[in-house]
Structures are given as structure tokens and as C-alpha cells.
Structure 1
Amino acid sequence: MPDGSLPLALTMGDPAGIGPEITAGAWRAMRQGTTPFAVLGDAGLIGRHDVPVREITTIAQAAEVFAHAVPVLPVGLQAPVHAGQPDSGNAHAITTSIARAVELARNRQAAGVVTNPISKIVLKKAGFAYPGHTEYLAALCNVPGREVMMLACPELRVVPVTIHVSLRRALDELDTSAIIAATRTTHAALQRDFGIATPRIAIAGLNPHAGEDGSMGTEEQTIIAPAIAALRADGMDISGPWPPDTMFTPPARARYDVAMCMYHDQALIPLKTIDMTQGVNTTLGLPIIRTSPDHGTAFDIAGRGVADPSSLVAALHMAMRMAKHRNRS
């Protein structure tokens, strides 16, 4: 069966966060559509949110169940769940859900993996060795170091070259080779998974006004410009370095398909400001499709019935579109 026709594997996320609630909300919004998913988690937890659930034994059963109930591939919890009160006792269940979802996608039983939000702090207390989802997924796929995080909404796509490190460490880690590697991975993914034949890629500067010819910093000249030259030599449509303070205006965004940013917040602040509700996080450079909502566990509102599933719905739809593009390429 083509990947785009398979169900998606949706992980549980942190069970004390809004994951169960937005999962229920996503199912309500999508149950009559053509993007079925199966949840790897606890059926009772999802059923708390006034939706019918049905445990299944194989993900292939999800398509026939989906219109009538949330299909659940059971993953047992180790500790009682109280909304808004995370418990590291459930860390094993959280990571097991992710690992099983990846296995289904790698075995071509799932079209892709969509991950509900996790708490890095909760997992770290239980000995989790990875900075976040992105790095753990790369390890599960046996491609550590090749992962690239892209955030996307209808108006903007951004990729941070350095990700889950302090700003001081990001400045130390940023180099020409990192920019080249991240951009090559992004270019290939836009072609394969998004159907953009000739991606237009904007490279952000690092310093105010992109360094102002070296008067406000020389990284544009010593690190970024050599990367741009190498990427153009590969035949890519590359522009930059762009002044970071002006490259996210509507007229500027119309001139590129993705913005390569030098550090985490340079990328995520404009994306989340423009459209956090429809924002989707996707990991490029993996042998599988992976997306997630562009928000966290929101422990402060968990269990109150006010969580918005829009970003999860967008992530599910994007994952299926990516799978269909990849299958055609």
C-alpha cells in the first residue's frame, strides 16, 4: 500500500499535558476526512475527553475504525495521570510510544509519525539522554546528527541551523559547514516532501543589519558568505545574508520558500508570532515523515477543556501531504 494511503502513528506525548485533549479534538475535526491516525497510548486517558475509543491490535485496523472511534494501539502507563501534574514515572511509556511509532513508520506500516508534546524536564528526571524530540527521533532512525528542524505555517517556513542549545553555545557551534549541511537537507526535503521543484532559500544574517559590512560583526563575512557561495555552486537558488529584522515582513516572505536562521529564537519567534495556531514542527533528514504541533505540553491548562487542537490538526494534515509527495518522488 502506498505510504500516503496508510494511517499516521500519533504518539501520546506527556499524558498529564494537553496531548489527550487535543488528540480527542483532532479526531472530532478529522473523523470524516481522509487522514486517519492511530494513537499509541492509553485508551482510557483519551476517553476522558468524551470521545469513543477502540483498542486495536495492528495499525492497519485504524482506517476502518477511524470514522467511528479513536483507534488506540495500547501503551501502558506506569503511574496514575492527573492533568497538569506531570510524573516522571510515566517517562518510559512516553518514550515507548515514540519508539513504537517510529518503528511502524520505518516498517512502512504507518505513513508517518506525528508527535504530541513532551516535557524535556520530565523525561530528563527519568534519565532521558536527548535534548528533545528531534534528537531522539534521529537516534531511533540511526541518523544522529543529520536531523534538521523546520517550523512551518501557511505564511512562512523557517529552519534554525543551531537548535536546542544556549545562545552562547549556539554562537560557538555556528560554522560554515553547519549552514551548508542544514541547507542541503532542507533543499532536498522541500523538493521530495513538499513538491517544490526549485526551492528559493533565504539565508539570515546573524548580527544586526546582517553585520553592516563588518561594523556590527564579521560572522556574515567569515562564516555565512562562504556557505552561500558553496550552496550557489551546488546550483541552489540562494539569497542572503538577509538582515534578520526585515526578512520576515510580508513582502520579504514572498521572495523565498524557506528562511535558514542562525539560532533557535531567530527562527521560532517570527513563525509563532505570525501563526502559532497553524504552526507545525517537522523533522527533515529522517528516513520517515515526522511532524508535531508547534506548542508544548501546556500543563497550566491541561484538563480544563480549553486546549486548541488546531496545530495538531495541521501537523496531521501536513504529515499526510508530505507522505504523498514522498511516495510520488
Structure 2
Amino acid sequence: MYKVGVSIGDVNGIAPEILLKSHQIIKKFCTPIYCAHQELLEKISEILKIPLAKDMIFIPPNAPIPMIHIGKIQEDSGFYSFKSFEKACELAEKNEADFITTLPIHKFAWKCAKINFVGHTEYLSHRYKKEGIMMLGCEEMFVALFSDHIPLKSVSNKITKKNLLEFLKNFYHCTKEENIAVLGLNPHCGDNGLIGNEDFIIKESIDKINKILNKEIFKGPFPADSAFSPPMREKYKIFIALYHDIGLAPLKALHFYESINITLNIPILRTSVDHGVGFDIAYQNKATTQSYINAILLGKKFKEKNEQSRL
């Protein structure tokens, strides 16, 4: 049975509730190792009135146990969530975990704790000196992001043939998928240059990478406003969006509770929930667990697929 290192996320949000509610399900598929102090989870289980299972395995991070300030942004919870994540990475690097799954952190709490990374993916890219690729979705549909947590005004400058070719090459080698829709950037894919020239670069990059791979792997670019229509979703299951919201807004509208997040192009396998800390419903027993369970199951599926491909 695979071992999964679970980082606890921000303890002031819904992450601990999801962790406690899901343990009995998760342990049927994987052996979870919780990167947290047992005393902390004991305290939280008392607050939530969710029993702490006796078979839970804890490997605590190198951080003080934070105070619980329900629904609040706090420096100590931000620091603890980062160190929990760091510990999960260490377990994977030492082969003490087969993959890691992360529960939601609060990005501003990281900033308060002087953690100089916007989020999980940026830290992973820094740690492993490789550009992590963020892909989100579920069995019905996945969306990969060419640019993720950067200002919208910076996206256009990032769209160069060199950057796109590197991204498309890495994405193909990570997924081995062969029918991928690439979205355009401008309305109507630029209307032949009437609304920007970036879509010409996207088309040239698609043609070039397909020639390099000697296969028609990548299709497009497709106008983003119609890319997620029912006929398109029947034809394609994997989409590449040039910036964050154009890909994730339709994904979350369609599959908010089931979607997960996976980081590609790094040496370890990391999956995550595709939602935030839920401060507005924290400690109210209202959090849904489906995204977390799906993240664990996808990690298991990826490990099985990789092992089969090596046979």
C-alpha cells in the first residue's frame, strides 16, 4: 500500500476538519502520514467533536504548535502550514512517502510568517530548481496553466516561443497524453492580429512542438470563450490555459467539489485539494471532503501508472 505524506494546511480553516473526517476512507487506499503534532490534532478533534483515530501516524514538522484562531489569518498558523508542507517534501525525498497531498494554506498567512513564496507550486519550483506545472481538474476534465500566480498584466510578456515550447514539451513528457486543446489568449484568438499578436506565437509554438514530437499532440489555439462548450468537452479532456482565470473559472463552475490540483515537472509527486481555507465555514462541520479524497486517489493512480510504464 502506498504511503502519502499529508501536509496539514492552515489549522484556522477547514483543513483539519477534512483530514479528520476523511481518515477512515483514505486508509483503505493508502497509508497516510500526517505532518503534524498529535497533540494539535487531539485538541482540534475535541473542538470539532470528531474522534481521533487510534491508527493515525504523525511525523511533526519543526515548528511550534500554533494557537487555534478560528477563521483568522495568523503568522503562527502560516508558519506551521509551511513547515508541515516542507516536512511532507522531505518524506517524499527520502522515499518515506510515495507522494504527498497538501491541504489548503492561506497565502497571506505565509507572507505574515515571512515565507517568501506565493504558494505551494512556487515553493516546489524553487526547491527542485524546475518550473512546476500546475494542472487542476478531475476525471471529466483537466486544465493546465501556462502562467499561474502572476498579475494579468505580466502574462503577455511571458508568451514567447521559447517559453511555450519548453512548457509544451515538459507537459507532454509528464503526462504522455495525446489529445490536448490549447486555448488562445485574446478574444477570438486575436482575430488574425486585429486584437493582439500573441495568438500567432501560440499557433507557431503548437506547430513546432508537434513537428518535434512527430505527432499531432496539441490542437489549437481555440478561442477561450467557447473552448469549454459541451462539444469541445466531448472531444477534449485536457486543456491548456494561457493564464489562471480563463482556465479555472469554467473548471470550478463545472467541477468545484471534485477537482484536485497536481504539480507536474518536479521530482516528487504532489497532489492537492482545489479549494481554499474556507475560513467562513471553519470548525462548523460543513466542509466537503471530496476534493481531498480525489487528490489522494489521483496520487495513487499516478504512481500505479508510472510503475506500469516502467515494466
TM-score, L = length of structure 1 = 0.87
Say whether 1:316 aligns with 2:296: yes
Specify the alignment match of 1:74 in structure 2: 60
Deviates further, 114-123 or 164-173: 164-173
Say whether 1:201 aligns with 2:180: yes
SS in 1 for 2:166: helix
CA–CA separation in structure 2 for the residues paired with 1:164 and 1:312: 22
Q: How does 1:1-329 map to 2 (within 5 A)?
A: 5-31=1-27, 33-47=28-42, 48=45, 49=48, 50-54=50-54, 69-75=55-61, 76-140=63-127, 142-144=128-130, 146-191=131-176, 196=177, 199-221=178-200, 223-234=201-212, 235-236=214-215, 237-329=217-309
Specify the alignment match of 1:58 in structure 2: none
SS in 1 for 2:262: strand
Distance 1:252 1:13, change over 3 A: same
1:21 touches 1:46 (CA, 8 Å); kept in 2? Answer: no
CA–CA separation in structure 2 for the residues paired with 1:284 and 1:165: 18
CA deviations on 1:99-121 (whole Å, 9 max, x unpaired) are 11111112222110100111110
Specify the alignment match of 1:61 in structure 2: none
CA–CA separation in structure 1 for the residues paired with 2:218 and 2:79: 43
2:259 touches 2:273 (CA, 8 Å); kept in 1? Answer: yes
- Aligned amino acid, residue 239 of structure 1: K
- Aligned amino acid, residue 126 of structure 2: A
SS in 2 for 1:74: coil
- Aligned amino acid, residue 70 of structure 1: M
- The alignment's C-alpha RMSD in Å is 1.7
1:20 touches 1:45 (CA, 8 Å); kept in 2? Answer: no
Tell me how far 1:324 sits from its aligned partner. Answer: 1.4
Count of residue pairs brought into register by the alignment: 301
CA–CA separation in structure 2 for the residues paired with 1:29 and 1:83: 26
CA deviations on 1:25-72 (whole Å, 9 max, x unpaired) are 2213334x2222111013244341413245xxxxxxxxxxxxxx3322
- Aligned amino acid, residue 225 of structure 1: K
CA–CA separation in structure 2 for the residues paired with 1:289 and 1:316: 11
Q: Which runs of 5+ in 2 are unaligned?
A: none
Moved >6 Å (runs of 4+): none
Q: Which runs of 5+ in 1 are unaligned?
A: 55-68
CA deviations on 1:145-198 (whole Å, 9 max, x unpaired) are x2110012122111111110111112222222222222222211212xxxx4xx
Identity rate, percent? 29
CA–CA separation in structure 2 for the residues paired with 1:304 and 1:116: 17
